[in-house]
Structure 1
Amino acid sequence: MSSILIKSATIVNENKQFVADIYIKDGFIEQIGSQINKPADKLINAEGLHLLPGCIDDQVHFREPGLTHKANIYTESRAAVAGGITSFMEMPNTVPNALTQELLEQKYEIGRHNSLANYSFFMGASNDNIDEVLRTDINNVCGVKVFMGSSTGNMLVDNPKTLENIFSQSPMLVATHCEDEATIQSNLNHYKQLLGDNITVKLHPKIRSAEACYLSSSMAVELAKKHNTRLHILHISTERETHLFANNIPLKDKRITAEACIHHLWFSDEDYETKGNLIKWNPAVKKASDREGILKAVLDGHIDVIATDHAPHTIEEKALPYLQAPSGGPLVQHALPAMLQLHHEGKITLEQIAEKMAHNVAVCFQIENRGFIREGYYADLVLINLNKPWQVSKENILYKCNWSPFEGTDFQSKVIHTIVSGNLAYSEGVIIDNLPGKRLTFDRY
């Protein structure tokens, strides 16, 4: 579409709600106002619908290249736009790991040909690729990813000298997975001695414990303060960790920021009884008190953004015994509906959802001309019906793995239209496969 006119939408943007029309032309928002009557290729009557900036997910694993039996950029970006996510940042622990500039650019080529959503890919750090990390283009790559905990893949960075080099020399944002590997292995050995191979997923939050998370997160914060690193800690899973971050500094001036994920805001250790390995993530879903503490930190500004850590595996892999079952699960299609459900429960406002899932991600990563509903910005938008109940089922799941931890969940709100870079990518249950996604760029000079 070269032009779209959205009429009478309730716009949720920059801590305000108001009814207006939006005129989109050649990918950008050209005009916001009342009674816009310009000719357009597509007219959308949005009366009764809420218009939010498209969500920007700063942490996904779309599994391509190398693990495409689980997912790929095409399938998962389709699921993302159906869920109102218009941009994503994908992690480097694919096969091969994105540890060189050449391998990183190969992923960008896949995105250019196959992504329905806007995209960026993290450069991976290992114990021995600091020279490659330093070659990363700060205006065309979202950040450098450091696994301070092995998680999925073979990218554990555990050499203190390497960590000092990355934190002192990285020219751009460093995003970290923080779990102390020595603590995890000690806990695992303890339970193996007690139970042998009969460990169940209920012990996952005791093995990948709150202590393991805090030890690693606090070390990352200490390193960042020492070197004035632009640090972003991913998927905070404990209430205690939230106190490592400031909430009395404007976001644009913060050097240390943090992310909360949907699963840590929704599930607790009580859900292992019914969900089992389907909610086995690293870091682990922990106590209900951690869940409530994380939400409080999201609302009061200690935690800056909400993301998914979308990390699909096949249902056959998830059905393996605990010690063999991989960690991670699919979330991009259901993240915004889940947050809207928390809104219906009075736990978060629409304005805060727009802030944490769009505005703040754009500010944190210094994304150019996205994340807000503003004239002159890219038209990345999602129209939702707050009162259109539906249930997650196998029939409407779009992930390649064809399962969801939300299967059987009733949501009250539904995504109706998603616009990506000015193109209608999803409309009333139909994916429009014209691959409108663009590479994200960053204003870091």
Structure 2
Amino acid sequence: MSTILIKSATIINENKQFVSDLLVKEGLIERIDGQIDVKADQTINAEGLYLLPGCIDDQVHFREPGLTHKGDIHSESRAAVAGGITSFMEMPNTVPNTLTKELLEQKYEIAARNSLANYSFYMGASNDNLDEVLKTDIKNVCGIKVFMGSSTGNMLVDDPKALESIFAQSPMLIATHCEDEATIKSNLEHYKQLLGENIPVRLHPKIRSEEACYLSSSMAVDMAKKYNTRLHILHISTEKETSLFDNKTALKDKRITAEACIHHLWFSDQDYEAKGNFIKWNPAIKKASDRDAILKAVLNGRIDVIATDHAPHTLEEKSKSYLQAPSGGPLVQHALPAMLELYHHGKITLEQIAEKMAHNVAICFEIEKRGYIREGYWADLVLVDLNNPWNVNKDNLLYKCKWSPFEGSTFRSKVMHTLVSGNLAYSNGSLIEGKSGKRLNFNR
């Protein structure tokens, strides 16, 4: 039986910080104790390192099948593991769109062969696939994805009757992309009349505006309240939207939850001049006051989880003009280091990072035996050195697209080791391949 002993780690878990040993046996956390004296197959000296539960990213686009020139499940899961993300939930706007049970299972089969991280995949909703949506197994699929605003891939659900039926009948959590399509089209037409095809990227947050986000998010919240739907709104990008969410109810009892993404917590509209299309996301990065309000909502419990919306495109695609360049960018390798940088700036605690990037994701999605450092739970773990500065550059990027909006940045904290379902998958700068992650299961 394979065993890994982690010695003298500073464990960050469930709002506590303490030094302890931890024993992993057959993929599970066997024992957490101040002193464990057993002979293990492998021993990691973690003195001076911090042990956090592996991050669970509830929103990624790994581009397989159909768009593998941008990224694939193998390449992007490698980058995720190197960044301390041990589990991911991937979106259905691949090619073909994941709109049937058969297409969904094909993605699981690819991940079972090729993913270094644990995995789950969303079932996609469209205007006319409710019968397929209702076949989704709530025990081993993370949720249903509904695009209430168009983004990469044509999966917009814009038929009011179809939308109501999905909200009324969905057997499980619905995750929504919320931007009002009519508002976006009107704003875009306005700027096209003013500027023709030469619209600068700095106008992206004016086109995909606060109003577009709030109209759609508030509609989703109203519909969820009407039908008592389990609703999870993705990538909140405005201060105004944060007022839609509750921070009085315990997370386990919430029917409506929300997510913040790394780019909306880090960048602002002042960065478009330097970064251009490399920070073009949908919804758009907006004002510094929006960024600060989103962080405040994360800290006060209105926003429940932090994710990436990792969405790689090629350098060639992102180098096109504003109207031609797709939205999205790669983030999984740098999400945890970026949040640890905010910790160094005094903006968030280590305990809050563990809560928002692991504990709360497990609660929101009712994930079985993950998201915590607990005896009997799967050993999804990340060891970080909080004082080991490194520079993000092309030589250390693991994304298939080979670029990052963080290029040129220096992070003070470095991921040293990552365990996925008890297997050491990343250690001291090297990936250890050969063991695949596991399919996530859900206590529903």
TM-score, structure 2 as length reference: 1.00
Answer whether contact 2:113 2:436 (CA < 8 A) is retained. Answer: no
Between the aligned partners of 2:318 and 2:198, the Cα distance in structure 1 is 16
User: Could you tell me how far 1:34 is from its partner in structure 2?
Assistant: 1.4
Query: After the TM superposition, which residues 304-383 of structure 1 pair with which residues of structure 2 at under 5 Å, given as runs?
Result: 304-383=304-383
Q: Which residue does the alignment assign to 2:246?
A: 246
Q: Which residue does the alignment assign to 1:226?
A: 226
Q: Which residue does the alignment assign to 2:107?
A: 107
Between the aligned partners of 2:351 and 2:373, the Cα distance in structure 1 is 12
Gaps of 5+ in 2: none
Between the aligned partners of 2:341 and 2:435, the Cα distance in structure 1 is 29
User: Could you tell me how far 1:78 is from its partner in structure 2?
Assistant: 0.2
Between the aligned partners of 1:226 and 1:11, the Cα distance in structure 2 is 42
User: Could you tell me how far 1:266 is from its partner in structure 2?
Assistant: 0.1
1:69 equivalent to 2:69? Answer yes
Q: Which residue does the alignment assign to 2:290?
A: 290
Instruction: Classify the secondary structure of the residue corresponding to 1:66.
Output: coil
Percent identity over the alignment is: 79
State the AA in 1 paired with 2:329: G
Between the aligned partners of 2:321 and 2:153, the Cα distance in structure 1 is 19
Between the aligned partners of 1:38 and 1:138, the Cα distance in structure 2 is 40
Once the two structures are superposed, residues 85-110 of structure 1 have per-residue CA deviations (whole angstroms, 9 ceiling, x without a partner) of 00000000000000000000000000
Superposed structure 1 runs of 4+ greater than 4 Å apart: none
Q: Which residue does the alignment assign to 2:167?
A: 167
Instruction: Classify the secondary structure of the residue corresponding to 1:23.
Output: strand
Number of residue pairs matched?
A: 444
Between the aligned partners of 2:71 and 2:181, the Cα distance in structure 1 is 27
Instruction: Classify the secondary structure of the residue corresponding to 2:373.
Output: coil
1:204 equivalent to 2:239? Answer no
Answer whether contact 2:114 2:436 (CA < 8 A) is retained. Answer: no
State the AA in 2 paired with 1:307: A
Q: Which residue does the alignment assign to 2:393?
A: 393
Between the aligned partners of 1:108 and 1:435, the Cα distance in structure 2 is 16
Query: After the TM superposition, which residues 66-215 of structure 1 pair with which residues of structure 2 at under 5 Å, given as runs?
Result: 66-215=66-215
Between the aligned partners of 1:60 and 1:322, the Cα distance in structure 2 is 23
Q: Which residue does the alignment assign to 1:442?
A: 442
State the AA in 2 paired with 1:173: L
Q: Which residue does the alignment assign to 1:426?
A: 426
Between the aligned partners of 1:363 and 1:61, the Cα distance in structure 2 is 22
Between the aligned partners of 1:368 and 1:242, the Cα distance in structure 2 is 29
State the AA in 1 paired with 2:295: L
Between the aligned partners of 2:321 and 2:433, the Cα distance in structure 1 is 38
Between the aligned partners of 1:2 and 1:233, the Cα distance in structure 2 is 40
Instruction: Classify the secondary structure of the residue corresponding to 2:424.
Output: strand
Between the aligned partners of 1:246 and 1:434, the Cα distance in structure 2 is 43
Answer whether contact 1:259 1:307 (CA < 8 A) is retained. Answer: yes
1:37 equivalent to 2:41? Answer no
Answer whether contact 1:89 1:120 (CA < 8 A) is retained. Answer: yes
User: Could you tell me how far 1:2 is from its partner in structure 2?
Assistant: 1.6
State the AA in 2 paired with 1:384: V
User: Could you tell me how far 1:332 is from its partner in structure 2?
Assistant: 0.1
Q: Which residue does the alignment assign to 1:7?
A: 7
Between the aligned partners of 2:331 and 2:28, the Cα distance in structure 1 is 28
Answer whether contact 2:150 2:156 (CA < 8 A) is retained. Answer: yes
TM-score, structure 1 as length reference: 0.99
Between the aligned partners of 1:304 and 1:412, the Cα distance in structure 2 is 26
User: Could you tell me how far 1:37 is from its partner in structure 2?
Assistant: 1.1
User: Could you tell me how far 1:435 is from its partner in structure 2?
Assistant: 2.9
Between the aligned partners of 1:115 and 1:229, the Cα distance in structure 2 is 31
Between the aligned partners of 2:389 and 2:118, the Cα distance in structure 1 is 28
